[in-house]
Chain A
């Protein structure tokens, strides 16, 4: 029934699902060790199989495979199927997702060791892996949407994992609803795809895209849009939700209420990159709408710069990393807008490693500090947690894009690519990203210095118990640190400048900034040398580090003073530009007010009060007039209706009936 590749793909998807089901339903029987064994086994199998497929596609050059697993339903003349599309883009995502997931499974053994929801947690993270794989491996929009929503739900469950905490169950509902706003756009986009392509299969849609490029859609009156622009912007709204782009970013910082492995797995390395992946996957559509590309680039640039700035004023170690994630997602989005899809995916991959590393390092710190997350109560930890310290340092270097690290290659290439883009938003985007480099270096080293260096600000009780984390925690850290540093060196050439994504990402000639960059590409070492010979980015980075050094090691009272001098901008940052307050008042509050209004006025007063009970009251008044008819018994009312009916019948028989009956 299935050939080797198909069987392999099914195993990749089903192994984590089986693990999730076993741990979830049979957690009581399996016990804690049983639960983590089955789930890790499932993900391990998926990881190995993914690597095998990766090798087949990337190394052996197997052509893309597109096949159906089963028919979900057929309705009208549409057949909606569950199936897989295996091409370079898919296998890259599969490998990243399964590998990061595996590391996090192992790490969780240590991190969640004492948690009563241990088996439940493993079940969730395996289920998440399944959902994410369904998303990246889909060959049609229906399944994409399935994976899209499924990862959203697991994220909802995981953010609210500690369901007794009010903040956690607030954050998870918020995350789900904000994501739903994005999904709303996404679904409309899918509906438009069905209308104009008459199919939901990628193959049909991508093949039909060039023919639709000139078509228009009338939205209201004489307002016409290009169909492609409409579809792409709708789809991108979905991406804005999942990949947390302004203004749908508000859920991500709050999602840090979930356990740290989740922040690493979902809110840094995999789920939030679903939007980036989706746009790259849809490149055959986006390439036909420069308006959409501009929009994408603009939103990305705003996110990259302004969310990074918020990272400067956060004191919760995880929240700083969360804002950093937002900012990095902005970088990826800008790359998408510049048609440098490959660069976006490249940054996605490198970011997955170094951000997961940073989160797990933060988690390790949190364990060491006995669940203290406030950096103001840390400091000097390098003495007590050397492994974590080194891993965090390597992750930070990768994040700021220090020459040679993986982040350097991916981020530099994005900035260069945007520089070459000719779209109107490119200028703004370029400078946002460049300033973003200063900001990134500043908040990253602020975190690093506040946590690991400087004075020890924790209370005595905590201080006595600080310890390096156990091996299940630091081994994944080291395993992630290696790719965080080196993977860029090996991948930058093939991924960006060779035919790595041939057939899965489409770039039009006039947008192809990476090809232009490729003309000057002389190997990864050339890029490193180049960064020193034209050192603007490097200087930006150095500025950021220097400022962090001044503010958080040399003159620790300076930031406080600065906040005092710059009261107004500081407040804007602390209030996160007011997005949360605005949403809370306008959307959450407004919806409840509107609901109450519609209910009390519409249903209770008008329909029930006036019409329904009003009718009843009229009847009562009327029967009060004809006193002896007023009985209050139901069957009398019913009887009255029947009498009326008889009248009507007589009327019909009299007027029309005879003619009808006797021809």
Chain B
């Protein structure tokens, strides 16, 4: 706001236009496309870093606001702004995209410029979702970002990519249609598409419940929550490595972000009324999916299921807050649950991204994702094995890694909602370790099982760089998560107060 530079617009349009640029400029020369993409992704990351440096941590409201009329007849505005929640998501997005560009450097050999462009445009559109303060603008970004992901899986994906893309597209599209209906309904009630104004719109409980359900269909698919999760394993299995990374690390967070931006503040009474239902769904995700992950034979599927299980902690943290408020009125613990959920999203971004990259590293060499095709990789790829060990442990929620922080906070705060919630959630301690480390054991440990493993080459400098950066992030935010909490704390405190101030009248 104070700089004159429209930082948020830059954040959205730099990668989008940059992507178009890459598309045209890099068409002939794969090398040009790569360096251009790296430049654009770096630039975007720097913009987001600037945003962080200028962000006022004490201010719980929207910052860097940009407001221009877009379609004045319907009062639709180009309205941008960020708070602590969006800022974290943006940082995660720009960080992961930068890594993905580096990680795909020479892995992708066909249609390089299109591939890179798709990721840059996707990055911009996702930033668009995170900065929109107008529901229609939000919806446009929300739907538009399906297209690049659709193309990424559909063009560079595996053999069953058509089934996977259609499933992915229909699932998410179906969900978001209901959201649009809800948004339009809200417009007709209030005459505004401004998200912030909707926060103060009084709504009856029945209305709220219907709107909540409409929102939920859109967001639950993205999270994904049980039982609308089955698109994810298919999409991951077929997606190219980079696609899986962005999908898991950033796109899934759109669901959690939507719940925080729309469901909790716009329909707080319905959220409270349905909190227990949401908690049950979250716990099913944690436990049921944990068991399912245990028996997967495909590494990517296993990590996909593990993602679903971990995202259960996000929704658990958000909705346990309502029950905690009801039971003990301990605001501190309730906020801890929500912040734990947020932290879980960020951390899952690093860890799932890293694990998918690890599978990608092996896939590039062996062209198989089947656990049974591996065994004894540590003998030929010791550096890789060490890095993957770290990520596997982080995925099991080991203290000292970022994976611990969110789960820990959600479990210890949800105990105040009910001991049984905490007990169910804590089963992940055993299950998470079991499926992750059992996979690790079968793939990495043991004697060399076949000739192909015997000829594996350890990771090269570029792979070391990408995995190394992620390893540092995982450790840094495990040892010192305070900075992340500083960014979101003011915003979430205000959100919590708002959530409890019912609007049903």
Contact = CB atoms under 8 A, between A and B. Distances in A.
A194 B330 CA distance: 11
Interface string A188-205: 101110110010000000
B334 A188 contact: no
Contacts of B433: 176-177, 180
Contact of B292 (A157, A183, A599, A648): A599
A160 interface: yes
A188 B415 contact: yes
B177 A641 contact: yes
Contact of B184 (A150, A219, A652): A652
A645 B185 CA distance: 12
A607 B429 contact: no
Nearest to B186: A660
B177 A645 contact: yes
A657 B185 CA distance: 8
Contacts of A649: 181, 184
B400 interface: yes
A188 B437 contact: no
Contacts of A595: 291-295
Contacts of A195: 328, 330, 333, 415-416
B340 A75 contact: yes
Nearest to B187: A660
B411 A191 contact: yes
A180 B429 contact: yes
Contacts, number: 186
Interface stretch (A163-171, A304-312, A348-356): A163-171
A78 to B, nearest CB: 6
A188 B422 contact: yes
A72 interface: yes
A645 B183 CA distance: 12
B204 interface: no
Interface string A267-294: 0000000000000000000000000000
Most buried by B among A142, A180, A192, A198: A180
Contact of A194 (B412, B430, B447): B412
Contact of B188 (A153, A156, A653): A653
B430 A180 contact: yes
Given A596-B295, A645-B181, A187 B412 contact: yes
Interface string B417-451: 00110110011011101100110010011110000
A214 B420 CA distance: 22
Give the size category of B's interface with A: 35 or more
B481 A72 contact: yes
B485 A73 contact: yes
A70 interface: yes
Most buried by B among A163, A176, A183, A638: A163
Given A72-B481, A176-B433, A78 B181 contact: no
Interface string A68-91: 001111111110000000000000
A624 B409 CA distance: 52
Given A160-B445, A641-B174, A71 B230 contact: no
A634 B294 CA distance: 34
A566 interface: no
Interface string B158-199: 000000001101110110010011001100110100000000
Contacts of A478: none
Contacts of A603: 230, 292
B430 A184 contact: yes
A108 B405 CA distance: 35
A181 interface: yes
Contact of A183 (B296, B379, B416, B429): B429
B481 A73 contact: yes
Given A76-B333, A607-B230, A177 B419 contact: no
Given A595-B293, A645-B181, A74 B482 contact: yes
A181 B428 CA distance: 10
Contacts of B379: 164
A585 interface: no
Contacts of B414: 191
A538 to B, nearest CB: 45
A29 interface: no
A637 B404 CA distance: 42
Nearest to A635: B169
B339 A75 contact: yes
Nearest to A220: B420
A41 interface: no
A66 to B, nearest CB: 21
Contacts of B15: none
Contacts of A192: 415, 419
Contacts of B431: 591
Contact of A652 (B188, B404, B437, B479): B188
A362 to B, nearest CB: 26
B399 interface: yes
Nearest to A146: B399
Contacts of B333: 76, 78, 194-195
Contact of A598 (B291, B332, B434, B437): B291
B236 interface: no
A602 interface: yes
A146 B403 CA distance: 12
A257 interface: no
B426 A188 contact: yes
B188 A77 contact: no
A468 interface: no
Nearest to A597: B291
B412 A190 contact: yes
Interface string A565-602: 00000000000000000000000000110111011001
Contacts of A653: 188
A173 B441 contact: yes
A155 to B, nearest CB: 13
A236 to B, nearest CB: 16
Contact of B434 (A71, A146, A177, A602): A177
B288 interface: yes
A142 B404 CA distance: 11
8 contacts: A76-B331, A76-B333, A146-B399, A149-B404, A188-B426, A194-B416, A638-B170, A649-B181
Interface of A: 70-78, 142, 145-146, 148-150, 153, 156-157, 160, 163-164, 166, 169, 173, 176-177, 180-181, 183-184, 187-188, 190-192, 194-195, 198, 217, 219-220, 591-592, 594-596, 598-599, 602-603, 607-608, 611-612, 616, 634, 637-638, 641-642, 644-645, 648-649, 652-653, 656-657, 660-661
Given A74-B489, A187-B412, A190-B412, 11 more contacts: A73-B405, A76-B332, A77-B331, A77-B335, A150-B398, A169-B446, A194-B413, A591-B431, A612-B230, A634-B166, A656-B189
